[in-house]
């Protein structure tokens, strides 16, 4: 989210970025107090959108694999030990990144295979600039 937030201007004024999360309102509030974000957040505690988009769950070894540990090292190097918090929700739930055009057509989709599996922000920007009728 930080990488996307840092490049909001590259998406363009007509692009709306929405973060969908299954956390509860109080945990989201605490997170946003600690890490303010210009992004819009939608709560999906029942994970209806996760199920609709077929977002799966990762095994424990995948959750704590090298790519995830490497990501934690990056976070710790930027934010220090205060960035470490006890999980408050299902750490096995995987996410995804989707670009949906104004007509509701899915232009880009990436289903994460681990918590650290995120697309390059440039790929999201490129997908957001595709015109209706072009392929993802």
- Given a contact cutoff of 8 angstroms between Cβ atoms, the answer to whether 44 and 23 are in contact is no
Tokens for 120, please give them: 């390059």
Question: What region, left, alpha or beta, does residue 18 occupy, with left being phi > 0 and alpha being psi -120 to 50 degrees?
Answer: beta
User: Per residue of the chain (136 residues), what is the pLDDT tens digit?
Assistant: 788 999 999 998 889 999 999 999 999 999 899 889 999 999 999 999 999 999 999 888 887 778 778 877 887 888 777 666 666 678 899 999 999 988 888 999 999 998 888 999 999 999 999 866 555 5
For the chain, the domains span: 2-128
pLDDT, residue 64, reads 78
Secondary structure E strands in 1-136 = 18-21, 40-43, 96-100, 106-111
Calpha distance 8→14 (Å, rounded): 11
- CATH 3.40.30 for the 2-128 domain, yes or no: yes
Calpha distance 73→126 (Å, rounded): 29
Tokens 């946003």 identify what position? 32
Cα separations (Å) of 69 from 12, 108, 114?
33, 27, 11
Cα separations (Å) of 87 from 57, 83, 109?
16, 12, 27
State the pTM of this model. 0.74
Phi, psi at residue 127, to the nearest 5°?
-65, -35
């Amino acid at each position: 989210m930080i990488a996307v937030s840092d490049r909001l201007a590259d998406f363009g004024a007509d692009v709306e970025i929405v973060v969908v999360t299954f956390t509860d309102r109080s945990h989201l509030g605490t997170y946003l107090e600690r890490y303010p974000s210009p992004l819009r957040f939608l709560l999906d505690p029942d994970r209806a959108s996760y199920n609709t988009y077929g977002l799966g769950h990762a095994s424990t070894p995948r959750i704590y694999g090298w790519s995830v540990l490497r990501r934690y090292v990056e976070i710790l190097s930027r934010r220090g030990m205060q960035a470490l918090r006890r999980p408050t929700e299902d750490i096995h739930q995987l996410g995804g990144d989707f670009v949906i055009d104004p007509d509701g057509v899915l232009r880009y989709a990436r289903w994460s295979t681990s918590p650290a599996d995120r697309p390059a922000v440039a790929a999201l920007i490129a997908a957001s600039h595709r015109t209706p009728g072009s392929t993802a």
